[in-house]
């Protein structure tokens, strides 16, 4: 019996010790932003859940020590790896440190020439997994400068094929100042490739109008990757939530019944709601483009971003009329641009399809862009209107009944 009591005592003692030494809750692991009473709000179901735009990709900064992606960018080996046209030559001593350099000295064309020619040197570069790039170069006018500030430049053009043969879309450019004798640093930072681009063409260019026969020297052309894509993350939002039935209009405020809200930019002197005076039509978007020069000009007028959902074929359309108050001829274009991310974010690519306004039609016109397929798994599209004017005066277009629908 004594042994039984002794065993029961040991069990009781072990239970008391377990209670006493029970680990405490690690409060340091709780979110530091919580205060008393906030815990309940964490599990409370909200009445409305607003869709959040998820991150599309995970990025990391590229190693700054990565070499120039261009071959022979310092022109130390003649013009090897560069595709050059006539009047583009190599000098073994005119470089920034008395080394090799690329020289362009294209003959200037007469001012009455209606075509602006240019001489170029270019190289195609694969982008690999890069999503952001920098371009740097050195430039010099050794004797005298051009008359035209845009006579010399270096361009970046994105392509959808590794050999830069298809899908070219202009990316950016950098231009030197009109300064004689001194070496200049010409650069463009944070270049983001077009949607679907896998290569870039770096193009050194000199126009043949306004160059004043001035010799241009380029050296140390460097194209570097500054940010790369390392992991694709799963989209937290299923595309189905933005998918609408076939035939249903995705465009918000498509008919401008009483306002031009939902379109960017906001109302201004050039962009306003207007009563067409036609009972069957009512309100319209009135876009005016004034011009104080004799030459023609064009600009973006207004646009709207649409998350497209899971459909893969769309049609875009609108009604348009040249306002009778216009004092100069002009035109307009309806054009979509595809975006990688929701809400028109990330890399993008302008569609090759569009519809243009007939300048000579006085009545209402129907513009239609058919068989639109999202490029490279795009998740959103920007519907844009481009406006142009032929010369001095003002040109006004009335827009109405936009639609963007799947079929």
pTM for this prediction: 0.64
pLDDT of the residue at 2: 45
- C-alpha 106, offset from chain centre: 33
**Fold classification of 239-406 (topology level):** Jelly Rolls (2.60.120)
pLDDT of the residue at 392: 96
Query: Before 336, cis peptide (omega within 30)?
Result: no
Give every residue of the chain whose pLDDT is below 70, as ranges. Answer: 1-66, 111-114, 230-240, 266
Determine the 3-state secondary structure of 80 from DSSP.
Answer: coil
pLDDT of the residue at 226: 93
| Closest C-alpha among 368, 402, 381, 370 to residue 309 | 381
pLDDT of the residue at 230: 57
pLDDT of the residue at 121: 98
C-alpha distance from residue 229 to each of 56, 68, 172, 342, 346 (Å): 10, 19, 21, 18, 13
pLDDT of the residue at 116: 73
In the chain, ranges of CATH 2.60.120.260 domains: 83-231, 239-406
**Fold classification of 83-231 (topology level):** Jelly Rolls (2.60.120)
pLDDT of the residue at 14: 47
| Closest C-alpha among 56, 52, 194 to residue 133 | 194
* Residue linked to tokens 């050059």: 84
């Amino acid at each position: 019996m004594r042994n039984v009591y002794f065993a029961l005592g040991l069990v009781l003692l072990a239970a008391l010790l377990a209670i006493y030494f029970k680990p405490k809750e690690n409060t340091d692991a709780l979110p530091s932003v919580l205060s008393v009473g906030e815990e309940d709000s964490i599990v409370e179901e909200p009445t409305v859940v607003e869709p959040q735009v998820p991150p599309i990709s995970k990025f990391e900064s590229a190693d700054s020590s990565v070499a120039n992606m261009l071959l022979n960018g310092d022109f130390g080996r003649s013009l090897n790896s560069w595709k050059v046209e006539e009047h583009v030559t190599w000098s073994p001593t005119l470089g920034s440190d008395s080394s090799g350099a690329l020289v362009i000295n294209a003959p200037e064309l007469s001012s009455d020439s209606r075509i602006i020619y240019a001489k170029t040197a270019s190289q195609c570069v694969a982008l690999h997994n890069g999503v952001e790039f920098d371009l740097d170069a050195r430039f010099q006018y050794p004797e005298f400068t051009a008359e035209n500030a845009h006579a010399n430049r270096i361009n970046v053009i994105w392509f959808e094929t590794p050999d830069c043969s298809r899908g070219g879309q202009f990316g950016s450019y950098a231009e030197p100042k009109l300064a004689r004798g001194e070496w200049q640093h010409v650069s463009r930072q944070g270049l983001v490739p077009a949607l679907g681009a896998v290569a870039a063409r770096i193009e050194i260019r000199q126009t043949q109008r306004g160059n004043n026969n001035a010799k241009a020297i380029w050296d140390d052309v460097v194209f570097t990757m500054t940010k790369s894509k390392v992991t694709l993350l799963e989209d937290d939002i299923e595309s189905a939530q933005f998918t609408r039935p076939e035939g249903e209009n995705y465009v918000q405020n498509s008919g401008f019944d009483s306002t031009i809200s939902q379109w960017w930019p906001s109302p201004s002197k050039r962009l306003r709601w207007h009563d067409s005076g036609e009972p069957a039509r009512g309100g319209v978007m009135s876009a005016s483009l004034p011009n104080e020069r004799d030459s023609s000009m064009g600009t973006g007028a207004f646009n709207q971003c649409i998350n497209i959902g899971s459909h893969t074929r769309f049609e875009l359309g609108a009604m348009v009329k040249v306002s009778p108050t216009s004092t100069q001829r002009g035109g307009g274009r309806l054009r979509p641009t595809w975006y990688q991310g929701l809400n028109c974010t990330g890399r993008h690519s302008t569609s090759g399809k569009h519809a243009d306004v007939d300048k000579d039609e006085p009545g209402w016109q129907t513009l239609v862009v058919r068989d639109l397929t999202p490029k490279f798994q795009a998740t959103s599209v920007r519907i844009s209107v481009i406006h142009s004017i032929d010369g001095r005066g003002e040109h006004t277009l009335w827009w109405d009944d936009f639609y963007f629908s799947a079929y």
